[in-house]
Chain A
Amino acid sequence: MIALTALTELTLSRHNPLVDPHLHIWEWQIPVYLFFGGLVAGLMIIAGVRLIALRPQQREALVCCTIGPLMGLAFLSLGMFTLFLDLSHRLYVWRLYTTFQITSPMSWGSWILLLVYPALSANALAHLPEAVPSLARRFPILVTVSDAILARVQWVVGIGVANVMVGIALGIYTGILLGTLGARPLWNSAILGPLFLFSGLSTATALLHGILVVTTPDEERPAFADFLLSALAQLTQARPLDKNIAPVLARADNSFLTIELTLIGLFLLGQMTSTGIHQQAASLLLTGPFAAVFWVFVIGLGILLPLVLQSLELNNRIRHTIAPVILVLFGGIALRFILVYAGQQSHWFQPLN
């Protein structure tokens, strides 16, 4: 006897570009923008904390609260440019700043992005003459501005707190932007907010760790460090690496990666214990067409491997390299690519297989 299963089959005559057969409105521009947004959020938070708790003699502190924000300004501009590239009605982009739509996360985000520039700039200016003496010699006004900020404790604290607050808002916003789109079941989770925030913190910590390593004088520089950003060695007038600094950043990064892994677990748990539509959406990542890249690139190479490598480095079991730094940055961008692409395939009408 053949058991017959009730099926539902939908046939649509609709054939709209970017919408059918499944939504594919957002391509590389949006994941890249979300990655840069998270990275800048992490740089802001770290910069704010280090500005308040700065011990000026530490090169790590100067990198965190000066070089980090300067790079953050560049990354934010790059991110906003990729967002601009994604728009299909670009000449009207100025409309974002003629209104504030309280129910629209994108409207919140566009205004938050404007707050990032002054906050990061103020953070960078506070110790710029110490971090980049050559620049200060060329532009003496930088010393004046730095002295004016540092002379007032409340200014320093205010700038630090502003960076932390705006950074948290920016990091959460990058996740909430997707999380509020209830029509795409995979994205419809508030956990995406903190997940993208902590992912941003881990990538920012990794980036600062990488900068610190590649700007260390040759005799102290670990393996694989001889690339990228090495020009910063001249810019920052590299000083000897504090032996205690790399472990601090590696420990911080491990903490952020552990929290990120936990949040991914909670996110998937929430999806798998929700409605059939959400379970189907989660299966895109767990067992479906995105499973291989999700498990290998996001979980394996992006989180677990750097976590293990950094733990072994901290216990002096293996040589210190910047391989975990590269893996964390790669994992951060892979997470956003996979969530953006898989989320667009999750749908209320997804046929049951």
Chain B
Amino acid sequence: MSRFAMVIDTRRCVGCHDCVVACKTENGVPEGYCRDWITEEVHGAFPTVQLEIRSERCNHCDNPPCVSCCPTGASHVHERGGVVLVTHDKCIGCKACLAACPYDARFIHPDGYADKCTFCIHRVEKGLDPACVSVCPTHCMHFGDIDDPQSEVSLLLHSRPHHVLIPDAGTKPCIFYLT
């Protein structure tokens, strides 16, 4: 079994949006929509404020609420790597998955179906990295199998402190942010 995950180094990310542009180009994301985006989080009290820049997208959760709420099975977990995908011609556009996602990672494609990041599964199946990972100029993004203890992502997670987004939501996200 494999479990694909992404590890993003927030100390290297500069929020250049290359990942966003690469995704839109690779996946033909319609104008006005995005599958990934940049979040800047500032917290603290002056003068001890901290800034974290993150490249965010669908977290391909281990416990995905978007899959369990889907009435037609259009939202499903792919057999390879546990990637959460949407079968377009099964989706009725009820938008329950949009409401169920605590990360607001989904949107309704102009053609009517729910759309989101696919971890560029079409590239991954050819042995390539997702488009966003492959173009990152600061090499802050890493993709691989966290079930393999020798993979780059596993080693990074063992060696660096990290966090996930909204752990209290109980979705067990598979995108990790190194701090």
Contact = CB atoms under 8 A, between A and B. Distances in A.
B71 A10 contact: no
Question: Interface residues of A: mostly helix, strand, loop or mixed?
Answer: loop
Given A15-B32, A89-B112, A6 B45 contact: yes
A23 B34 contact: no
Interface string B90-120: 1111111011111010111001110000000
A23 B37 contact: no
Interface in B117-151: none
A127 interface: no
B63 to A, nearest CB: 11
A10 B98 contact: no
B92 A96 contact: yes
Interface residues of A, number: 49
Given A25-B95, A95-B74, A181-B99, A14 B45 contact: no
B20 interface: yes
A26 B95 contact: yes
B41 interface: yes
B43 interface: yes
A145 interface: no
Given A89-B93, A89-B113, A182-B65, A101 B34 contact: no
Nearest to B39: A12
Contacts of A93: 92
B40 interface: yes
A23 B104 contact: yes
Nearest to A12: B39
Interface stretch (A105-113, A243-251, A281-289): A105-113
Interface in B29-45: 32-34, 37-45
A12 B54 CA distance: 10
Given A10-B39, A25-B95, A88-B93, A182 B108 contact: no
A183 B68 CA distance: 13
A209 interface: no
Nearest to B107: A16
A103 interface: yes
A14 B70 CA distance: 24
Interface in B60-94: 65, 68-74, 89-94
Contacts, number: 151
Most chain A CB within 10 A, of B39, B89, B99, is at B99
B65 A17 contact: no
Interface string A9-35: 111111111111001011000000000
Contacts of B71: 96, 101, 104, 106-107, 109-110
B43 A26 contact: no
B99 A92 contact: no
B98 to A, nearest CB: 5
B12 interface: no
A12 B36 CA distance: 10
B70 A104 contact: yes
B68 A103 contact: yes
Contacts of A6: 43-45
B164 interface: no
B93 A26 contact: no
A305 B69 CA distance: 38
A25 B98 contact: yes
Given A23-B99, A25-B98, A89-B92, A15 B34 contact: yes
A100 to B, nearest CB: 9
Given A4-B45, A10-B39, A87 B102 contact: no
Contact of B90 (A5, A8, A14, A92): A92
A295 interface: no
A315 interface: no
Contacts of B41: 8-11
Nearest to A25: B95
A17 B32 contact: yes
Contacts of A87: 92-94, 112
A146 B129 CA distance: 68
A19 B95 CA distance: 11
Given A26-B95, A182-B100, A182-B169, A12 B37 contact: yes
B99 A103 contact: no
Contacts of B104: 14, 16, 19-20, 23, 347
Given A7-B45, A17-B32, A182-B170, A23 B98 contact: yes
Interface of B: 17, 20, 32-34, 37-46, 56, 65, 68-74, 89-96, 98-102, 104, 106-108, 111-113, 166, 168-170
12 contacts: A4-B45, A6-B44, A8-B41, A10-B41, A11-B42, A15-B34, A16-B33, A25-B95, A88-B112, A89-B93, A181-B69, A182-B170
Interface of A: 4-20, 23, 25-26, 86-90, 92-93, 95-96, 98-99, 101, 103-107, 109-110, 180-184, 275, 344, 347-349
